[in-house]
Structure 1
Amino acid sequence: MYNATDSVKDLFRRIAEGDEAAFKLLFDHYLPILRPFIFKLVQQESGAEDVMQNTFVRVWLNRDKLEGVEHPQAWLYRLTANECYTWLKKEATLRLRHQAAAHPDTGYDPVAGQLALKETRHLIAQAVDKLPPQRKQIYLLSRNAGLKIPEIADQLQLSQSYIKNAIVFSLKSIRDHLEKNGHYIPLIVLLFIKE
């Protein structure tokens, strides 16, 4: 069983050396911690199991890089979140394929799809332009420049929590603007749409 004397960094170091017992300790410790986090994002038991399995497979496959991880718990949560988003994208694609197969006469029109995406991007750009200047700057650094929250905080000399809140409020403002214009897009999907 995992205990306080086994730090996560130590487990990462041991896993990097191929220690399967350390991997099992990490798995046993984080399984009950990550499960609710995953379920909250994917909202399906079978999906949560898939994500959990994929997350720990990735940990094992990338074990040679684990020793260089500075903040193991944050890294593990980020890896888990990325696996959730990958799963959600695959599910959305599968759902669209099933819908198209169930209604072949109303098949997907690539031209209409491109126009809808173009319109959505235009509406997002409008919403971003309406953001307060600092919030707009933070959003653009996050989405267009691809900077992480700590990098933006360092660059703008603001707290990380302020940056995170500014991004959340920006995404909510964008979603509200889209909804006012007849586009109902879940907040999670906005994370993947670029202007």
Structure 2
Amino acid sequence: MTAHISYYDDKELLIRLSKGDEQAFALLYDRYYRPVAQFIQQLVKSPALAEDLAQETFISLWEAQQQFANVQSLKGYVFISARNHALNCLKRASSELAVKAEIIHHFSALRNDTEEGMLTQAYLDHFSRILETLPPQTRKVFRLCRDQQYSYEDVARRLGISRNAVKKHMVRSMKTLRSAAERDLGISFGLLLTFIHRL
């Protein structure tokens, strides 16, 4: 079935996406994910953050799938959505980073690296607790993709599952972690990752 729909053009995809066709969305993801991630990276400059924002863009597209019925150009719609998502992230980050800069300035003035480390460790501990709530397979996929930087194809081979299954696990984990970061910590998932990546 997937091989058959791989021949659909964007116009046919739009029709199917507007009807909530999951296979059509899988094809949309496969067709545009990498170009979108590269496009976002030009805006945010961080490869890791670009990957996260690309994932979030496609999650948002799927959650607002009824909008596809009014779209004229699928490619244009996808890239405009990606641009808006990245710019919104940068706007949020500008205020969050200002707060972070103030915190770091305060720590630097006190010359107390221990306190800054405690803040980062607190975020890491919360991140780890949320990860533990994910199903074991989803958690394993996330760690292989994020921590060890394996591609979806490599993870699929290592775990004996399909690439599409890897993608679904990553979408599930990103939605859970993003929601937890915003709900429990009051910060974006991207900013949470900047703290964690410093360890």
TM-score normalised by the chain length of structure 2: 0.48
- Larger RCO: Structure 1 or Structure 2 (Cα < 8 Å, ≥ 6 residues apart)? 2
Looking at CA atoms only, which structure, 1 or 2, has the larger radius of gyration? 1
Q: Which structure is higher in helix share?
A: 2
TM-score normalised by the chain length of structure 1: 0.49
